[in-house]
Amino acid sequence: MTPADMGRAFSFLFAYRTCSTHPEGRRRRDGEAQVAEILTSEISGYQDFEAFLNAQGFTMRSYEQGAIGVAARGQVFVMARRCTDEQAPYIDSGWIFERMRDRRSTEPLEHVVVWAAQLWAMMQWFFYTRLDRGIDAVGRFKEAFVNVSQLAREVQEQIELMRTRGAPSDVRGRAVWEILIDSTGSSIETRARRFLVAMEEAALLDRIEGEGELQYRQTLNAAVEMSLNFERQAFYLMAADETDRQPAEDAVVSIIEGTQTFAEDRSSGTASFPDEEMDEDPDEESDKRRHLNGGADVGH
C-alpha cells in the first residue's frame, strides 16, 4: 500500500467511517469504489496502514457483509476509535458539550458532561440490555432503536429512583446525584433531543423517518466501537445480575473518568470533572465530519 493509497483510504474512512465493496440500500459514495479496491487488494499493506491508524487513535475492522446482515455479499471496512489511546490533536473532543448546552444559560461545563454521560449510558441500555444483546453482536445494530420520548422517559424514571434512594455518601457520586435530580421532565426531554441529534452528527446514530415519532438507530460504526471499547464504554452493562449493577451516579462517574470505579473506592476526595473552556460561538458551517470519533484493527 503506497503512501498515496494510505492517504486516500484514510481520507475516505475519516469522512464516512465505513467503506463497502457492495453497498446496499444506498448509492456508492464518491471515491468508495477506489478505496474498496485498495483495501481488498493490498493485503500486504494492512500492517503499515494499521500502524498509521493506531498512531492517530484509530484502528480498522473488516467484516463479510453477509455474516453481519449488512448485505448479501461483499466486505465492509470500519474505522473506529481506540479509546485506550490518546486521540490525534485534530480530533475535537469537546464539540458534543457545545451542542448539548443551552446557550441562553450559564450552565457549567461539568453539568453538561454529567448529562452527556447519563444519556450515553441510557442509550446503550436501549441498544444492549433491553435487547438482551451481547457487546460483540455487531450485526444486531439494525435492531437498536431509540427515540426522544423513550430516552427521556427512562432517564426521568431513573432519576426518580435516585431521589427516592437519596444522595450517595461519596463526594463524586453525590456531585452527580445533585446535578441529575435538579431537573424537570421538560428539561430532560430537551437534553435527550439535543443528545440524539449530536450522536447523529457523530455518525453513531442514523435518523430513521417514518410514521410516528422520529427514530434513531445505532450505526455499524457505533456497534464496532462498542465491541472494541466495551471495557471503557460499556462495563456498566456487564453486571452478572441487577443486584451487582452500579448505581446510576456511580456509572456516570466511571464513564467520565474512563475507569470502572465503585463508591467504596471513592469515599474521599473532591469531585473532578473536565474544566476546559467551551467555544461560545462555534462555526455552525464547519465540516461536521471532523467531529466523527472512529478507529479499529483489521480482522480477517
| Phi and psi angles of residue 198, each rounded to the nearest 5 degrees, phi first | -65, -40
Give me the tens of pLDDT residue by residue for the chain, a chain 300 residues long: 888 999 999 999 999 999 999 998 889 999 999 999 999 986 656 788 999 998 888 999 999 999 998 888 999 999 998 876 566 777 776 777 888 887 776 788 899 999 999 999 999 999 999 999 999 899 999 999 999 999 999 999 999 999 999 999 889 899 999 999 999 889 999 999 999 999 999 899 999 988 889 999 999 999 999 998 875 655 555 444 555 556 667 667 666 665 554 333 433 333 444 443 444 444 444 344 333 333 333 333
pTM of the predicted model as reported, rounded to 2 decimal places: 0.78
Q: What is the pLDDT of residue 189?
A: 96
Q: What is the pLDDT of residue 19?
A: 96
145 HSE (CA, 13 A, CB side): 10
Q: CATH number of the domain at 3-81, out of 1.20.58, 2.60.120, 3.30.750, 3.90.1150?
A: 3.90.1150
What residues does CATH 3.90.1150 cover in the chain?
3-81
Q: What is the pLDDT of residue 87?
A: 67
Residues in contact with 96: Cβ distance below 8 Å, sequence separation at least 6, in sequence order: 116, 198, 202, 291
Q: What is the pLDDT of residue 290?
A: 33
Q: CA–CA separation, 254 vs 76, rounded Å? A: 33
